Copies of this chain bind each other. A is one copy, B any other.
Amino acid sequence: MTEYECQSGHKTEIMAVHDAMDVLNGKWKVSIISSICYYSKRRFSDILNDVQGISNKMLSKELKELEINKLVKRTVLDTQPISVQYQLTEYGMTLQTIISNLAEWGIQHRKVIIGK
C-alpha cells in the first residue's frame, strides 16, 4: 500500500489495478509470460508444452496480444524448419516481481486446497 495511501479515495489505485489486469487478461496470458520469463527465451512449441491445456490457437492469439502490448518480443529463427523465439521486452520484465509473487501464492494456494 505504501506511498499510494491517502485519506480520501483509492480510486486511482483501484483503476490502476484494473488497467494492469486488462493487459494480463485472458485465460492463459500470465502463464505464457511466466513460461517465457522462467526460460528467458522460449520457442512456440516449448510454450505450448509448458502451459498445460492451452491450444495452439490460443497461444498464437495471446502471444500476439502480448506483442502488441510490447511485453513480448518475437524473433523468427532461420532454422529448417523455421522456429520462432519469444522473450520478454525490457518492459515485460517489469512484470517479473508480480509473476514470481503469483507463483509463490499459487503454490501456497494449492496446498490450502489440497489440505481441505
Our pick among B4, B25, B31, B50 for the contact of A100 (Cβ within 8 Å) is B4
Q: Is the CB of B103 within 8 A of A51?
A: no
Residues of B within 8 A of A88 (CB): none
Q: Is the CB of A38 within 8 A of B100?
A: no
Q: Is the CB of B2 within 8 A of A31?
A: no
Q: Please tell me how many copies of the chain the complex holds.
A: 2
Interface stretch (choices A5-13, A58-66, A72-80): A5-13
A2-B104 Cα distance, complex, nearest whole Å: 10
Is A68 an interface residue when CB atoms closer than 8 A count as contact? no
Q: Is the CB of B34 within 8 A of A14?
A: yes
How many residues of A are in contact with the other chain, CB < 8 A? 48
Residues of B within 8 A of A13 (CB): 34, 38, 103, 106-107
Q: Is the CB of B50 within 8 A of A99?
A: no
Indicate the member of A4, A100, A103, A107 with the most B CB atoms within 10 Å.
A103
Q: Which residues of A contact B (CB under 8 A)?
A: 1-2, 4, 10-21, 23, 25, 27-28, 30-31, 34-35, 37-39, 50-52, 91, 94-110, 112
